[in-house]
């Protein structure tokens, strides 16, 4: 049974920690009803406090018609949250046994056509869907933290996921203002986290080898490539660096040196000494600044950047 994105009026948010609360706030801001559930003591109070904290930021972005904090309901029983939902977003612990059991329960409670999406950052959706009666509607919908700000969502199907479920999931996220991408094969870490891991690997290597300080590496990215990457991705940036000849010209002339750099990249081990060195470097870089203040400044800059990109029109 196929359901259009316009039929999604009510979303269940299962597990309401940092990611779940952020998702709940975003769904509410898009004018949806949210039924949330989490078994941990004090979960409802923490969820409502987190959503209230995110709300001014979402108001600055602009709320959808009908958006209201009053449309948030909390349920002690998972089944009560899932049964009336048109879409389910799960955010439980990153353990396959817990995930698989959650999806077994959600699958039993939800109407058969309703998409069940997991926010998992690393687990394979094929394992998550293994105990479901309707595995064809189980997908991965991995957001980039924080979900109420960052548009990216990675959508992955498992061994038994239908093409229709993937398409409907992509369409739903796009309809509420996200930028979904389809990860066409299950791999550890999906796409964005693997790209981050590649950069982290060399960053840790450069610190380990005494090539640069933690602060120097952060400066190199934040005031160099990071500025361009915030505008467009690595392939489009490489294309623009080739002038009239574009990326073909770049690869003809710099393909060899780039490959040589690949061979020279490091493969550090996360030793106690390296962890201590990086932690000390971050402490030095922070100085007297508070993490909460940095987060607030980051969020303001992110909002300004996202709004600027939206007004200028997407480049990709």
Residue 191's pLDDT is 94
- Blockwise average pLDDT, block size 10, the chain, 316 residues: 67 97 98 97 98 94 95 98 98 95 97 97 93 97 95 97 97 97 94 95 97 97 95 92 93 94 96 97 95 89 89 72
Pick the CATH number of 193-312 from 1.10.1040.10, 2.40.50.140, 3.90.1150.10, 3.40.50.300: 1.10.1040.10
Contacts of 52-59 with CB under 8 Å at 24 or more apart are: 54/21, 54/22, 54/25, 54/26, 54/146, 54/148, 55/25, 55/29, 57/148, 57/149, 57/299, 57/303, 58/25, 58/26, 58/29, 58/148
Pick the CATH number of 5-183 from 3.40.190.10, 3.40.50.720, 3.90.1200.10, 3.20.20.70: 3.40.50.720
Task: Report d(CA 236, CA 222) in Å as an integer.
Answer: 19
* Selection from 122, 114, 131, 144 nearest residue 1 by Cα: 114
Residue 102's pLDDT is 96
User: Torsions phi, psi of 9, nearest 5?
Assistant: -115, -20
- The pTM of this model reads 0.91
Residue 246's pLDDT is 94
> What burial class does residue 6 get, using C-beta atoms within 10 Å of its C-beta: 0-12 exposed, 13-18 middle, 19+ buried?
exposed
C-beta separation of 37 from 76 below 8 A: yes
* Selection from 80, 18, 23 nearest residue 46 by Cα: 18
Domain boundaries defined on the chain? 5-183, 193-312
């Amino acid at each position: 049974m196929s359901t259009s994105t316009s039929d999604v009026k009510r979303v269940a948010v299962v597990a309401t920690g940092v990611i779940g609360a952020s998702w709940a706030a975003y769904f509410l801001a898009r004018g949806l009803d949210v039924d949330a559930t989490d078994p941990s003591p004090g979960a409802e109070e923490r969820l409502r406090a987190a959503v209230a904290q995110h709300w001014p930021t979402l108001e600055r972005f602009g709320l959808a018609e009908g958006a209201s904090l009053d449309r948030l309901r909390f349920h002690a029983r998972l089944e009560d949250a899932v049964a009336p939902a048109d879409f389910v977003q799960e955010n439980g612990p990153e353990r396959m046994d817990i995930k698989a059991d959650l999806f077994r329960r959600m699958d039993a409670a939800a109407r058969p056509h309703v998409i069940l999406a997991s926010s998992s950052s690393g687990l394979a959706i094929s394992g998550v869907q293994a105990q479901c009666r309707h595995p064809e509607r189980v997908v991965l919908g991995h957001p980039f933290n924080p979900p109420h700000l960052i548009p990216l969502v990675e959508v992955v199907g498992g061994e038994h996921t239908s093409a229709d479920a993937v398409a409907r999931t992509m369409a739903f996220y796009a309809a509420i203002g996200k930028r979904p991408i389809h990860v066409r094969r299950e791999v550890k870490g999906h796409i964005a986290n693997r790209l981050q891991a590649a950069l982290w690997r060399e960053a840790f290597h450069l610190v380990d080898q005494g090539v640069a300080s933690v602060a120097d590496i952060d400066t190199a990215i934040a005031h160099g490539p990071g500025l361009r990457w915030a505008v467009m991705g690595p392939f489009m940036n490489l294309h623009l660096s080739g002038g009239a000849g574009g990326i073909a010209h770049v690869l003809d002339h710099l393909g060899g040196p780039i490959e040589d750099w690949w061979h020279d990249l490091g493969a550090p081990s996360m030793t106690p000494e390296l962890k201590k060195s990086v932690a000390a470097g971050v402490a030095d870089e922070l100085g007297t600044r508070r993490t909460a203040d940095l987060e607030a400044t980051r969020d303001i800059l992110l909002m300004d950047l996202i709004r600027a990109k939206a007004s200028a029109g997407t480049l990709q």
